[in-house]
Amino acid sequence: MQQPHPAGEAGKGQPPGNQPPWGPQPGPAQQAWGAQPVWGGPPAWGTPPHNPYGAPLPYQQPRYLAPPKPGIVPLRPLMFGEILDGSFQAIRRNAKAMLGAALLAQTLAAVLTAVLSSFSATSAASLEAWAAGLTEQDLVPLVVTFASGILLVSVLTVFLSAVLQGAMVVPVARSVLNRPTGFRQMWSLARSRAGALIRLAALLVGGGLLVALLFVALAVLLVSTVGGLGALILIPLGLVCFVLYVWVYIKLMVAPAAVVVEELGAMAGIRRSWELTRSNWWRFLGITLVVGIMVGVIAQVVMIPVTLLTGFYTGVVSPHGGAEQAMVAGVVAGVATAVVTAVVAAAGFAFQTSVMALLYLDLRMRRDGLDIALLRLLESGADPDGIPGRGVPAYRAGPGQNPRPPFGHRPAGHGRMAAEPPVLPGRDEARRWAEEELAKPEYRDAAPAGWIACGRTSWTGCGP
């Protein structure tokens, strides 16, 4: 006899194993054939996503905020492209101050070149006749005198350039905060450091001349005692002296900027430059080489038409002119060459000085936190007619400590930062600091009337 189904009548129509019936299941509405599938409703953009593992996820993840760029460069450690771009912008925004000072630095060389070119063009024939009658004994003192004059002008040019280089740091530093600087204002801000800059230039030029004289004396001694073998010794010795000169030049490159911005003396500026360029020598060398090659190539390209001026005039404009026209063409070409050379050299000198100043500021940002100090100066608007960065303490790391100042570091004493642990205030101390800051007159003057009547913000205790 067949037994009834254990589930009774309710079990009819179901597959074995208590499976759901084979009929249509409840769910979303059926779609017509050929219609686009509906994958779900539109996302709710106004509600944060749900986190099944704990607290709700934040509605928006924090994003990176670039440091502000109020002037020619952003207020953070700089990259190579930003240094080049900032140098061009510094010249463009302070053309009178930068190019005017650079032209002063190239004046002596330009005047000497123009005088020599004009004299050689007007007296070429008489000079040849006069030189033909001179003996070897007469030529030696003449050559020595001429070389001494060229050397004197060159030394004076280098000396003047070293002094003006420090003054030209002022408009570059002010351009970082978008503060234009005129020629007169540049000199007024750098006048107090003129004595230190002169002493610094004297030390640098004197040291270079001393090394050159020692090398010449050693060369004369070797040639006179050893003979031809001395020349073979001089070649590697000259290479060693050149490498030593380049090494010292890079180490002392930012000394004029340190003298002006940090108000240091000549020797203190040299020590400061030596300290700042530590662990950055190869970077400075690479940037200096690239900038020097750029300036040299551009100068040669600009000077090519000027050097062809004499040949073009005598060969095309006046091919049958006499000696007088040739003399006039020589004078005009000499003067034009001197003027164009001075302008090109001034532009190159201004660009190289801007690069030097930005390298100095970059090192201060990396070592002393100068970017934070400049940001505070920008927000407060204090000292609008001064030099940004002047008065910012220099950080000195102790043995085995981080060369960069720690977060929250506060200066101890005047002019230096001592290595201290980070300042992390507690709740009560942070509240006290905030109340002391908000109690300053500048905040009270700018606050609404209700805020003044309350005397504090809602989060410090003044609520509705």
Is residue 176 packed enough to be buried (19+ CB in 10 Å), middle (13-18) or exposed (0-12)? Answer: buried
Distance (Å, rounded) from C-alpha 168 to C-alpha 99?
9
Record the tokens describing residue 339, joined without a space: 């003027």
Domain boundaries, the chain: 80-380, 426-464
pLDDT band at 212 (very low <50, low <70, confident <90, very high): confident
Q: Mean pLDDT, the chain, as a whole number?
A: 75
Highest-confidence segment of 310-314, 324-328, 340-344, 409-413: 340-344
Locus of tokens 């530590």: 278
- The Cα–Cα gap between 99 and 101 comes to 6
CA–CA separation, 197 and 227 (whole Å): 43
**What is the spatial distance between Cα 326 and Cα 345, in angstroms, rounded to a whole number?**
28
What are the tens digits of pLDDT across the range 296-316? 999 888 888 877 766 666 666
**What HEC string does 19-74 produce?**
CCCCCCCCCCCCCCCCCCCCCCCCCCCCCCCCCCCCCCCCCCCCCCCCCCCCCCCC
Neighbour count for residue 309 (Cβ, 10 Å): 16
Residue 361 pLDDT grade (very low, low, confident, very high; cuts 50, 70, 90): very high
pTM of the model: 0.69
pLDDT of residue 456: 45
Q: What is the CA radius of gyration of the chain?
A: 37
For 25-72, the pLDDT digits (tens) are: 554 445 455 555 555 555 445 455 555 555 554 555 556 677 889 999
DSSP assignment, residue 76?
S
Burial class of residue 230 in the structure, from the number of CB atoms within 10 Å of its CB (0-12 exposed, 13-18 middle, 19+ buried): middle
Band (142; pLDDT cuts 50, 70, 90):
low
Give the DSSP H or E segment for 88: helix 80-93
Show the beta-strand stretches assigned E in 58-213.
none
62 token code pair: 């924090």
User: Can you tell me the mean pLDDT for 126-139?
Assistant: 59
